[in-house]
Amino acid sequence: MFGYYIDLAMRSLRRNKALTTLMVLAIALGIGASMTTLTVLHVLSGDPLPGRSGTLYYPQIDPRDNSGLMPGKEPPLQLTEIDGFNLLRAKRADRQALMTGGSVPIQPDSAAIDPFYVEARYTTADFFAMFGAPFRYGGGWDAADDEAKARDVVINSGLNERLFGGANSVGHTLHMAGSLFRIVGVLDHWAPSPHFYDLYTGSYGYTEQVFLPLQTALDMHLAHNGSNDCWGNGTGGVGSIYPSSSCVWMQFWVQLDTPAKAADYKQFLIHYSEQQKALGRFVRAPNVRLRNLMQWLAYWQVVPDDVRLQAGLAFGFLLVCLVNTVGLMLAKFLRRAGELSVRRALGASRRALFAQLLVESGVVGLVGGVGGLLLALLGLWVVRHRPSDYAALARLDPAMLLTTFLLALVASLLAGLLPAWRACQVAPALQLKSN
Amino acid sequence: MSIQIRPILVALRRHKAGTLLIALQIALTLAIVCNALFIIHQRLANMSQASGVDEADVFVITNRWANSDQTTSQIDAQVRADLLALRQLPAVRDATPGSGYPLKGGGWDNYVMLTPEQVQPTTDAAVYTGDEHFIDTLGLKLVAGRNFRPDEVMVMGTQQAITPPSVIVSKALADRLFPGGHALGKSFYSMGPVPTTIVGIVDTLQRQGVDRYAQSHAGQSLIWPLRADDARGIYYIVRAKPGQLAAAMREAPKALLAQNRMRIIDPKDGVQDYATIHHKVYDNDRGMAILMGIICVVLLAITAAGIVGLTSFWVGQRRKQIGVRRALGARQRDILTYFLTENFLISAAGVALGTVLAIVFNLWTVTRFSMAPISMAYVGVGVLVLLLLGQGAVLAPALRASRVSPVEATRGG
């Protein structure tokens, strides 16, 4: 039966090519536009560390004075140096890492290569294990190296390629910021997106090329990249590094394996704030947050407004295309009242007619879906060639591919529902007589 | 000639579904198109803001130090030598050091307060640093007061925060802080307990960023007499002599490297002219405007095609009735008017609903993306466009209908 319906659909669609083309084109344009924007939205709001993100948390506390230079009830988005190290050394979580961003100059051994700057992350030992960063060679450093301000460095695969042609460089030295560092590990390709652990350095398409112990970086007064917010007498501080208790510029992540541990950790943060207030360092009442990774991204509103606006508009666009298709299908089906009446008179049930018409709109939907897919691929190609920082991420994955077809099919079946129902209501006797 | 509205309405009642669909499509199209037009207008307005910079002749060198262990005084000596070398180039008119530059796409900005104990900041200003050559190098227009004196220029080391006693502000900031034009000689506070006194006012000086936060403080900038001797690097802003931009951009990096090789000037974007800077910073705005333009055109085309399709069907369905009317004495013009009027009635209902939808959609963007409320002028333009579009789309099928011969009345079918 289904095959027969398909055959009928194809005949009918061929009969009025202009109308069919218009319907297919409208669905294709609507699907193409919404799938392009939806895919961009999907990749931008994706989980940077699937499987791990549920147990990673970002503690926030409020060390500010009452001057109100940083208005708002929410605690600051980063930690001061003192609080960061206090929380790190408390070791109350399963894993914890304190970090900040920077950039350092590298002087290659070969005189043929000019010195160049690389993006750096200054962090502590647990960073790699906690975030599941994969190593190609070697590994990270340990907590003792942190305290010893060891001149150890982990480099990423890109830098390893550039300097050592991709060979195992563990044990080699790297001349960096005027000091000799020992390479202890080489990362495999690793670029979590969004760059969740420090969104100030750019949310998408940002990767560090070197990772070195935070205390080493502080000891060497290496340059800081990212945001710092200060209050009170925090500004006007002289020296090459920020005041340690009145400027926030560090990020701190913890791994808490169970919800109970997370609840305990939140209590610990409140307790810590009370303790600091008793000591006279904190002025405000305890004001803490413990968001997990995805909550943190949502709170930060990491997806650009323009992208969300575009998605909203594209769905409005799809809606117009659908309404358009409903109208055209209605015209098409009603025009065939005579033919349908003959089928009814010959014994086809209303249900059979309804199914036949839905098959016809389903065919339009499928063809429109294929067209929409091509348009979405074109749209994503255009997005990739735009200079935005998320350009490289705009690719269709299998899940979105399936969504495209489902959307097209559901959309066109919905569009066919009303016209098919209306067309089935024709009274065969009346139609046959008038013809 | 009386337009027969009643018979049209009676006829439309027999095509409820089709009528509603066309009206709905027109309503949705109107809602999207006038919001898209509004977004286009806003983005174009952003892009056409004057930066205040002599963009034809100015370029920026991003100079990073290769040896990060220099002391501030070593860096300062190098910066002074670099500036001297740059200013001596034949194609160069002037040069200044800087910690940022207009339209950089983000950078240093400070809260500004009128009293030191104030809890809520008065406003926010983009902070520029430079020496006594800053104003001439950027081609800014000094509208009141004076330029910095060479002895006022202070040295600012890495990540050091200094509040110099004198400041030059943009007119926008001066008017925001001291409405009434009495800003000259007044003082304010900016992230510190030390006041800074306005010695000069420049006409237009756009901020470093162009995002929404910057737009809400548009044009509010201050210049401090500082040489930002940061261990990481420095920007040299250079103004070429008229017509010698290309030559100056070629010579300048060479002159710097001849001074000292321990620096990194990226071969790709280490030296950028203002055309490039301007183009880059507004990329998002331009992309959004183009996208909205495409959406408008495609939507209008689809809606027009839909109207043509459905009206053609109606004409085909009513050939016999049209023939009867013609046989009873209706002129071709009457038939044409009938279909045009019918479309106008449907479109009018559509745009009425569409106006409501447009405002709802705009409210969504206002609450979700804190955009500006839409001006009614855009809705008005949208309404006009859609009414005309409807009439245009219905014209071809209506003409075909008007040519139906009275003989059709006698035919069966």
Domain-ending residue, one of B261, B296, B330: B261
Which string of DSSP letters, residue by residue, matches A51-98?
A: TTGGGEEEEE-----TT-SS-SSSPPSSB-HHHHHHHHHH--SSEEEE
User: B246-250: long-range contacts (C-beta < 8 A, 24 or more apart)?
Assistant: B247/B90, B247/B91, B248/B59, B248/B89, B248/B91, B248/B92, B249/B59, B249/B273
More confident residue, B171 or A65: B171
In a domain, B19, yes or no: yes
Between CA B101 and CA B207 the distance in angstroms is 8
Domain co-membership, B298 together with B238: no
Chain A, 197-226: which have a CB under 8 Å from a chain B CB? 221-224
Residue A241 has pLDDT above 80, yes or no: no
Q: Quick one: pLDDT at residue A361?
A: 86
In a domain, B334, yes or no: yes
Residue B159 has pLDDT above 80, yes or no: no
In a domain, B145, yes or no: yes
Contacts of B132 by beta carbon, 8 Å cutoff, 6+ apart: B147, B148, B149, B150, B152, B153, B225
List, for residues A130-167, the tens digit of each pLDDT value.
Answer: 999 999 999 999 999 999 999 999 999 999 999 999 99
Contact B305 A22 (CB under 8 A): yes
Domain interval for residue B113:
67-261
Q: Quick one: pLDDT at residue B1?
A: 47
Mean pLDDT of the residues in chain A: 86
Which one of B163, B232, B364 would you mutate to disrupt binding with A, by most A Cβ within 10 Å of its Cβ?
Answer: B232
Q: Average of pLDDT values for A98-124? A: 87
In a domain, B111, yes or no: yes
* Terminal C-alpha separation, chain B: 31
Q: Average of pLDDT values for B216-229? A: 91
Contact B231 A105 (CB under 8 A): no
Residue B412 has pLDDT above 60, yes or no: no
Q: How far is CA B208 from CA A95, A204, B16, B122, B277, in A?
A: 40, 21, 57, 20, 11
Which string of DSSP letters, residue by residue, matches B227-275?
A: EE--SSEEEEEEEEPTT-HHHHHHHHHHHHHHH-S-EE--TTTSEEEHH
Residue A186 in contact with partner chain B when CB distance is under 8 A: no
Residues B189 and B195 sit within 8 Å (Cβ to Cβ): yes
Domain co-membership, B307 together with B219: no
Which string of DSSP letters, residue by residue, matches B273-329?
A: EHHHHHHHHTHHHHHHHHHHHHHHHHHHHHHHHHHHHHHHHHHHHTHHHHHHHHHTT
Residue A224 has pLDDT above 90, yes or no: no
Residue A382 has pLDDT above 50, yes or no: yes
Which string of DSSP letters, residue by residue, matches B12-74?
A: HHTTHHHHHHHHHHHHHHHHHHHHHHHHHHHHHHHHT---SS-TTTEEEEEEEES-TT--HHH
Domain co-membership, B187 together with B90: yes
Helix (H) or strand (E) holding A297, with range, is helix A293-300
Q: Quick one: pLDDT at residue A433?
A: 65
Residue B239 has pLDDT above 80, yes or no: yes
Q: Quick one: pLDDT at residue A243?
A: 67
Q: Quick one: pLDDT at residue B202?
A: 95
Domain co-membership, B106 together with B207: yes
Q: Quick one: pLDDT at residue A232?
A: 61
More confident residue, A106 or A409: A106
Residue A295 has pLDDT above 90, yes or no: yes
- Amino acid identity of B317? Q
User: B253-262: long-range contacts (C-beta < 8 A, 24 or more apart)?
Assistant: B253/B61, B255/B85, B255/B86, B255/B89, B256/B61, B256/B63, B256/B82, B256/B85, B256/B86, B258/B85, B259/B78, B259/B81, B259/B82, B259/B85, B260/B78, B260/B81, B260/B82, B261/B66, B262/A115, B262/B65, B262/B66, B262/B67
Q: Average of pLDDT values for A203-208? A: 84
Residue A176's DSSP bridge partners are: A106, A179
Q: How many structural domains are present in chain B?
A: 2
Q: Average of pLDDT values for B127-141? A: 95
Contact A327 B306 (CB under 8 A): yes
Q: Quick one: pLDDT at residue A280?
A: 86
Which one of B313, B315, B368 would you mutate to disrupt binding with A, by most A Cβ within 10 Å of its Cβ?
Answer: B313
Report how far Cα A210 is from the mean position of its chain's Cα atoms: 23
Closest alpha carbon to B31 in A308, A411, A317, A311: A317
Alpha-helical (H) ranges within B58-200 are 72-88, 134-138, 171-177
List, for residues A176-191, the tens digit of each pLDDT value.
Answer: 988 899 999 999 999 8
Confidence class of residue A236 from pLDDT cuts 50, 70 and 90?
Answer: very low
What tokens were used for B388? 């005309």
Residue A268 has pLDDT above 80, yes or no: yes
In a domain, B293, yes or no: yes
Contact A328 B69 (CB under 8 A): no
| B37 interaction partners in chain A (CB closer than 8 Å) | none
Domain co-membership, B215 together with B331: no
Q: Quick one: pLDDT at residue B388?
A: 94
Domain co-membership, B194 together with B247: yes
Mean pLDDT of the residues in chain B: 89
Residues A292 and A56 sit within 8 Å (Cβ to Cβ): yes
Q: Quick one: pLDDT at residue A235?
A: 47
Q: Average of pLDDT values for B54-71? A: 88
In a domain, B43, yes or no: yes
In a domain, B58, yes or no: no
Q: Quick one: pLDDT at residue A67?
A: 61
Residue B348 has pLDDT above 70, yes or no: yes
Domain co-membership, B230 together with B307: no
Q: Quick one: pLDDT at residue A238?
A: 34
Between CA B188 and CA B168 the distance in angstroms is 12
Contact A327 B364 (CB under 8 A): no
Q: Average of pLDDT values for B17-44? A: 91
Contacts of A19 by beta carbon, 8 Å cutoff, 6+ apart: A328, A331, A332, B309
Between CA B214 and CA B328 the distance in angstroms is 70
Domain co-membership, B14 together with B123: no
ipTM of this predicted structure:
0.81
Contact B264 A117 (CB under 8 A): yes
Domain co-membership, B288 together with B395: yes
| B111 interaction partners in chain A (CB closer than 8 Å) | 69
What tokens were used for A182? 């020992």
Q: Quick one: pLDDT at residue B276?
A: 93
Residue B3 has pLDDT above 70, yes or no: no
In a domain, B60, yes or no: no
Confidence class of residue A434 from pLDDT cuts 50, 70 and 90?
Answer: low
**Residue of B18, B68, B193 lying closest to A104 (CB–CB):** B68
- Amino acid identity of B130? G
**Residue of A224, A388, A418 lying closest to B284 (CB–CB):** A388
Contact A324 B305 (CB under 8 A): yes
* pTM of the predicted model over 0.95: no
What tokens were used for B4? 């027969």
Between CA A378 and CA A371 the distance in angstroms is 11
Q: Which of B22-26, B238-242, B311-315 has the lowest mean pLDDT?
A: B311-315
List, for residues B98-119, the tens digit of each pLDDT value.
Answer: 999 999 988 888 888 898 877 7
Domain co-membership, B366 together with B239: no
Residue A120 in contact with partner chain B when CB distance is under 8 A: no
Between CA B60 and CA B78 the distance in angstroms is 18
Q: Average of pLDDT values for B41-52? A: 89
Domain co-membership, B233 together with B341: no
- Kindly report the nearest CA distance between residue B5 and chain A, in angstroms: 23
Contact A236 B232 (CB under 8 A): no
Interface A–B counts its CB contacts (< 8 A) at 156
Which one of A324, A382, A389 would you mutate to disrupt binding with B, by most B Cβ within 10 Å of its Cβ?
Answer: A324
Domain co-membership, B138 together with B219: yes
Chain A, 333-352: which have a CB under 8 Å from a chain B CB? 334-335
Residue A134 burial class via C-beta count within 10 angstroms: exposed 0-12, middle 13-18, buried 19 and up: exposed
Residue A234 has pLDDT above 70, yes or no: no
Nearest Cα residue in chain A from B357: A316
Q: Quick one: pLDDT at residue A237?
A: 36
